[in-house]
Amino acid sequence: MLRIGYICDIDLVSNRAATDAPSINPQIESDRASLVEAGCKVIRVETARQARAACGVVLQSILDFAEQGDEIVVNRLNQIGSSSGAVLGLLQTLRARGIGLRLLDPGLNRTGLVDDSFIQTLEMICSLDGRLGNRPMASQGTGRRNRVTTDDIRSLQARGMGAGQIAETLHVSRMTIWRKLKEA
């Protein structure tokens, strides 16, 4: 059995431009130390350009290389997928090929009961993702709160202010003022 450590530099991918200029990320060094401590003989790091692919180049090469009985070790779940669907797809691939997955941060091992319950939980999350899409849940409400009332606008109008001055005073656009007056 071979333990293969995988690090995806999430911060590098999400916070930098499309260049792959070298940077020193203390989180990578910390992750690398955790993987060595977990017994990984091979550790691979995904760079920004590689991680932009649907399945990162380095992660795909690990999947191509790994054999039944091997174990892929990551520090956090978000390093192997950017969505619950992507993570679920990877877990199903690993299960079909008999490759283990160990998450160090929450301390999960993809074996036995944890395997089935973890995958079932992700399946439920994915089904919710599919039903809800990107819409907020009903209890969250939608849009921003209404800061400007028609009464506010009317009172400033009564003082002789124009739409531009009212908008400036209330820190909104003139169009918002005109919309509010039209709604009333």
| Per-residue pLDDT tens over the stretch 124-157 | 777 766 554 444 444 445 556 667 888 889 989 9
Beta-bridge mates of residue 73 = 5, 102
Tokens in use for 99? 């490759």
Q: What is the 3 state secondary structure string of 112-178?
A: HHHHHHHHHHHHHHHHHHHHHCCCCCHHHCCCCCCCCCHHHHHHHHHCCCCHHHHHHHHCCCHHHHH
Q: Residue 1 pLDDT more than 50? A: yes
Tokens in use for 141? 């409400």
Instruction: Yes or no: say if 163 and 173 are a contact pair by the CB < 8 Å rule.
Output: no
For the purposes of burial, counting CB atoms within 10 Å of the CB of 91, is it exposed (0-12), middle (13-18) or buried (19 or more)? buried
pLDDT for position 105:
77
For 47-97, how does the pLDDT look when each residue is reduced to its tens digit (9 = 90+)? 755 555 545 788 888 988 899 989 999 888 778 877 777 788 888 888 888
pLDDT for position 94:
87
Residue type, 55: C
Binned at pLDDT 50, 70 and 90, residue 5 comes out as very high
Mean pLDDT (the chain) is 75
Q: Looking at domain 3-132, what is its CATH homologous superfamily?
A: Resolvase, N-terminal catalytic domain (3.40.50.1390)
For the purposes of burial, counting CB atoms within 10 Å of the CB of 170, is it exposed (0-12), middle (13-18) or buried (19 or more)? middle
Binned at pLDDT 50, 70 and 90, residue 160 comes out as very high
pLDDT for position 49:
54
Tokens in use for 36? 């060595």
Tokens in use for 60? 């795909």
Please tell me the pTM assigned to this model.
0.57
For 12-34, how does the pLDDT look when each residue is reduced to its tens digit (9 = 90+)? 444 444 344 445 568 788 888 99
pLDDT for position 40:
92
DSSP per position, 68-129:
TT-EEEESSGGGS-SSHHHHHHHHHHHHHHT-EEEETTTTEESSHHHHHHHHHHHHHHHHHH
